[in-house]
Every structure is written in C-alpha cells, then in structure tokens.
Amino acid sequence: MGPDLLHLSAAGVSLVLDCRGPGLPTVAHWGAALDGTLDDLLVAVAPQPIGFSVDGTVRPSLVPEQSSGWLGTPGLAGHRDGQAWATAFEVTAIEQNVAAHGVPEKGGPEVGRSADTVRITATDPIACLDLSIDLELHPSGVLRARGALTSTAPGTYWLEHLTIFLPVPERTTELLDFTGHHLRERHPQRTAFTHGLRVRENRTGRTGYDAAYLLCAGTSDFAHRRGEIWALHTAFSGGARSIAERTYHGWSALAGGELLLPGEVGLAQGQTYQTPWVYAVHSAEGLDGVAARFHRYLRARPHHPAKPRPVVVNTWEAVYFDHDLTKLTDLARAAAAIGAERFVLDDGWFGSRRDDTSGLGDWTVSPDVWPDGLGPLITVVRDLGMEFGLWVEPEMINPDSDLAREHPDWIMATGTRLPRTARSQQVLDLANPRAYAYILDRLGTLLTEHDIAYLKWDHNRDLVEAGHPGTGRAGVHDQTHAVYRLLDELRARHPGVEIESCSSGGGRVDLAILERTDRVWASDCIDAHERVAIQRWTSLLVPLELIGSHIGAPLCHTTHRELPLSMRAGTAIWGHLGVEWDLTGADESSLVSLAAWVALYKELRGLLHTGTLVHADLADPAFEVTGVVAADGSDALFALIATGTSASYPPGTAALPGLDPDRTYHVRPQPPGDVADGNAAAWGAALPWCTPQGVRLNGRTLGTAGLRLPVLFPDRVLLVRVTAVQEDNVPVRVTAESPARGTTEPPAPGTATKSPARGTAVEDALVRGTAESIVGGTAVEEA
C-alpha cells in the first residue's frame, strides 16, 4: 500500500483517502470494511477522464473546490474584498495516527479507547489561506470530521461557509431527514435522492425543531432492520446546514457545517475559524445499525453519565408558577413515596417571576414567594433521600426585569433596533464579557449556596435579529460559542452538578450540546401517544439514558388527550424516567400503580441504558415494537405498542429482533405492563402466549416467526420480558440495577427499596412488586 492511499478501518467500516497530490484528498471509499491488498483500489474505482468543465477527471474533495473543475456546491465560500473567492489548496502535510484499540466486547462500550485520526494541512498562497481537516474514525465505526481555516494576509477574509463533504454511492436512492414543531419534534420525512441539491438550513439560532437532525441516504426501501444507510449529523447548537447533493457526472454526497449570517465571521491576519464536528455513520443493518453506532460512541465518552439515571419528579405541570412551600413539601413527600430520587423545582422561584412575562435575568431567590429562601424545601427534599434540582434560563432576559432596566445594552439587537419579543423575552448577549461574567457569577452563587445537584437549563425563544448591540453585527455564532464556554466553565467549577438541555421542549438536541449536558428534554409534550414517535426518532441519535421521558397526568396538559397509566408509564420508561403530575391530588390506586412502574424502571434501567435498541419492521401501521437487548444477549425487554386500530382482527405477528439466534429464551408478559388484551375479559380470552409461563423459543425463531400481536385498544402497551435460559431451563441471572456502564447484583425477587413516606398501600405495592397481573389476577387499577 503506497503513500497515495490512506485506509482507516474500525467496527466493520472503512474510510479510504486518495492522497495523490497536490490538491486536497478525496474519499475513494466510505462504507463497509475493506480488507486485503488495496494497492489497485484507486485504479479500480477511478472514473473515465471524460471532462466538460475541465479536461481530465474532476475529483471533488472533502472541501470541494471550483479549481478542480467542481461546479457543484463549494466546500468553502468567502472573499477578501471581492478577491480570493476561489481557492486551489495544496497539501503540505498528512499525519495519520492509528490507535491500538483491539476488539471490544460484543455490543459493549469502548470506554477510554482512542480513535484512528488523520490531519490534513494545506495552503493556498495566492488566496493567503491555510486549511486543516481533522478526521477521526472511532472504534464504534462513527466517523467525524471538521475543518479549520486561517487567514495569512493583512485585511479581512469574509467567510460565508466552510462545509465538509462525504461522498455516498449511487445506490443510495432515498433520503430521510426530520421536521417538526413545538410539541411534535423530530418526525421523519422521506424523499427520493435525485439529481440536484437538497439543503436543510436552520436559522433559528438554536438546533431547532425543524432541523435535519440526521440526514440519511439509503438503499431502496431501507427500514429499521434492513438496508444500507449513510447518515450525517451536524453537531452545532446555532445555525446549521445539512446538504445532500447528486450530480449528473456520478458524484453524490452528504455535507454539513455551520450556517453563518452575513458578516458574522471575518478573519483578520492570523485568525482561525473552526467548523463544528460533522458526525457520519455507515450501517449495513438499517436504521437500528445507525442508532447502535451512535449509542456506542456516546457511551464510550469518559464523561458519559456513570451512575444510574435517577427517577425525577418535576414540578412544572404539577404547580406551574404557584410556588407554595406547604404544597411543594406535600408534593416532595408524595414523590419520595412512589420512589423518586430527584426533585426539580421548575420556573417561578426567582425575582418577579410570577408568570412568564417578567424576571428573567434576575437570578436571585424571590423573597415574596420564598421568604426563608429555598433552604426549607431543599432540606425536606434531601431528608426524604432525594436530590434537589432547579430550573434556569440563563441565556434569556425579560424587558420587565431589574437586569434589563440596569443593562439594556446587554440585549442582543441589530444596533439600536430591538428585535420583536417572543414569550415576552429577549436574548442576553453572552458574547459581552460583562454579561457573561454576571451570569456565571449568579449561577455559581446559586450552586455554592444551595445543595443543588441538577440544573434544568431552558432556552425558550428563537434568536431573531440576534446582533451585538452597539455594532449591530450578527451574533449567533458568538452567542453559541459563549454558551458552550459558560457550560464548560460552570461544569469545571461544579463538577458534580448535572445539566439538562431543554429548549422550549426539544429545540436543542445535538451532539455539541450533549458534550456539555447530561440529558436532553425531548419535548414539552408528554402525551404518551405523541411521545412514541418523538422518542423513537430522538433515539436514532441519542441513547435512552440521555432522553428525558416523563409520566404525565391522566389528562395531558398539552393535547387534552386522556390516557391510562399503563400507556403513560409503559412509554416513559424507555428513556430517563420522570414524573410530571400533581401527585398530591392522585388517588391511592394510581399511586400504588405508579410506584410499581417506578420499581420496574429501577429494576430494568441497567438493561435499558446499556443494551442495544432495536425495532421491528411491521406491515401493520397500528403497532410499534421497540426493544432493548442486553449487550451479552442474556436479557431483553420489548414494548408492543398500539397507536391506532389495526386493519387485521386479530392482528398478525411481530418479530422480536436483536436476540442471540442460538440461545433459548423465556418469553412472557412483564408486570405491571402485562395487560395483554387491553382488557382481557372484553375479548373473551387471553392471547395463548400471554401467561406468566409464557413460551420458550430460540432467538432465531423469535426474530423470524416472532409473536402474535395482541388485540389492544388504541394507545395501549404490552411489555414483554425475554430472558435467556440455561440448558437445565433455569433462567440466567440478569442484572436489575446498574449504572450507565457496569452492573450490580439485582434485588431479590419480590423486594424493593422501602419508600420513606406515604401510606402503607404504596409500600405494600413495592414489596409485592408486580407478581400479579391481569392474566393472574388484578394487582392495580388503571389510572
């Protein structure tokens, strides 16, 4: 293998770079792993030198240039007073570092292991620009790339965009990306991958509901378990562009980068601009393969949450702005009684914040609502054995606030004209060092003076006309990086505090914000019917332990849909579980049932937060099948979810994918989610396999013939537990509780941690566990 070719390979993926100079390298192959001698690969895949724009072969690079004959979207756009708008970079060095990362345990994280890396440096002496490109192929098979551009001449180079391109093969005929809005984030849309340019631009100043999220190119009719897919994610929390381009001369690519506003980045001599990381994945196993690679990558990070994800009770939909110590103390006791481990006080605790029209920016505890401060409530929460969390929105400011009256020049604006308000608020210019220092000090003081383990960090408006007051220059780029610095510095000073990224619900979900936070809030909509799709597609990128998922009240506040507890809880456990419901007004039966669901989550979070997420491809649109299979194949949980009424009566069968084909499994309903037929009596008879005895089949049969789906009312869930059995038919002992990485011994059957408060009915339910069911006798009533 000569110096003209560089080959990186990991986890069944190969990246081959054609480094024949003097121009920037091109990607000769990105996809399924190659082996053997590759000396002639570049000859084998070279196109015929039939040129139209230029004589010879056009070789689009990682940053395509017009000087190569490329007349599609340029990888770099900018100018120096109308000049240097076209570049011809010449490579000055290529440095490769191949890590010795060995072979990971099947399905397990590669914690602390390094990636194979390549750094390409190049220069254009005429345009007076230097360019570097970093490529990393992680042991999970995730590829990421970024570029950096430096101006080397006097004056200013005005950058319009720097975009990284990765080619995909012609057999990719379909595109998948995402759209949505508040309360309906990340819903898929599919289009044909035809000639031309598809551009998804996010101009909201935050990741946005309507971001591409993941841009996937795949073979015909790809699905969860089939098809070959190439996927790209632009990891940036401000403006971003995602591109799919196909040209008539046989070149197709996905690309990503930051979307810059006019005049936003001007490089003086010696100054450097760096792009966001662009993450890319190849999967030969459908969308589940894409998710598996991203999840393994994220779980291998040294800072990935390592302790079990605590059950959260959030006060927002319970009390809104009505903060009262007696009421919140009662709510905290009810929370502890059902097994909560973290209690989060939401909006309304500070300044003049009695509604959403005032107070943002005044980050001091309100003496009117909390005359004795937050200490009494925190003491109650901590004495009940729970962590205390607090809601903040540091990037925003209400015009009706002491801060705005004292520092109107800290509000982002296009010179002297303020943007129109949204939710009665404006954006605080954190690129202003004084505003930045003020917020860092106020948050630091809160964390120092109070026993706070968790911040729910919100961001409740788009950035409209977000400029720097005084100059009026566009400031989304500066604001985004200032927020990153603020989060980084705050975490460095308070390393034990966890932070959630919330942005009008799920408006800021990306891998850059997840480098600095411990979970994302998927949506303000906690209607379980809507959450099925929201969580399903959020988890294509983000593993379940990082997705906030709450059990709401029987009547959903955002949709007014009324759903039983089994549906609300049976969908919420597929994430980082929380409760957002006024438990002080819930009846005893509901609390007993809720406690059983919390106990189940605690038993299974070690599985759910370390295992492989899988989905069945079903012909019946009324059903969803989601599962998590343990890394060693010993245990699994599946949810059979009816989101509508099936056209088949009774419904057909569904595969249980991802199991070890050669192992035998005990398959049975999982209490308390074992209501097999919506209401078994209503249909006259239970489904034959839906008994505590269940069935025993090997993984190959379950993944092929599958199980008969139950007759379910719409918006119902049936949980199915699948446990490997040994030759003597004794179930393999599986872990019940574990941190994000590693396991501990499970509790003995029928036991649970005793609640510190509440009546004996809830405690008794925890002790009983979920041994009873609709099949074997009613244990709890539906709420």
Which residues are part of the catalytic machinery? Answer: 458, 524
CA neighbor of 333 nearest in space, from 762, 752, 672, 753: 762
Q: How many CB atoms lie within 10 A of CB 1?
A: 10
- Token pair in block for residue 535: 């969580």
SS (H, E, C) 647-696: CCCCCCEECCCCCCCCCEEEEEECCCCCCCCCCHHHHCCCCCCCCCCCEE
- Token pair in block for residue 530: 């809507």
CA neighbor of 11 nearest in space, from 144, 139, 145, 104: 139
Helical H runs in 134-185? none
CA neighbor of 99 nearest in space, from 114, 118, 119, 120: 114
How many Cα atoms occupy the beta-carbon half-sphere of 129 within 13 Å?
A: 27
CA 377-383-388 angle, to 5 degrees, is 50
- Give, to the nearest 10 degrees, the angle between helix 565-572 and helix 528-538: 10
CA quadruple 352, 356, 361, 366: dihedral positive or negative?
positive
Helical H runs in 422-560? 433-449, 476-493, 528-538
- 139 close to 13: Cβ distance less than 8 angstroms: no
- Give the DSSP letter string of 1-63: --TTEEEEEETTEEEEEE--SSS--EEEEEEE---S--TTHHHHHPPP---SSSSS-----SS
CA quadruple 743, 748, 751, 757: dihedral positive or negative?
negative
Helix or strand run (H / E) with residue 608? helix 588-608
- Give the DSSP letter string of 208-219: -TTS-SSEEEES
- Token pair in block for residue 382: 């901590």
3 state DSSP class of 360: coil
Query: How many angstroms from the chain centroid is the CA of residue 754?
Result: 33
Helix or strand run (H / E) with residue 765? helix 760-768
CA quadruple 68, 72, 74, 79: dihedral positive or negative?
positive
Task: Compute the distance between CA of residue 561 and CA of residue 581 in angstroms, rounded to an integer.
Answer: 15
- Token pair in block for residue 635: 């245990």
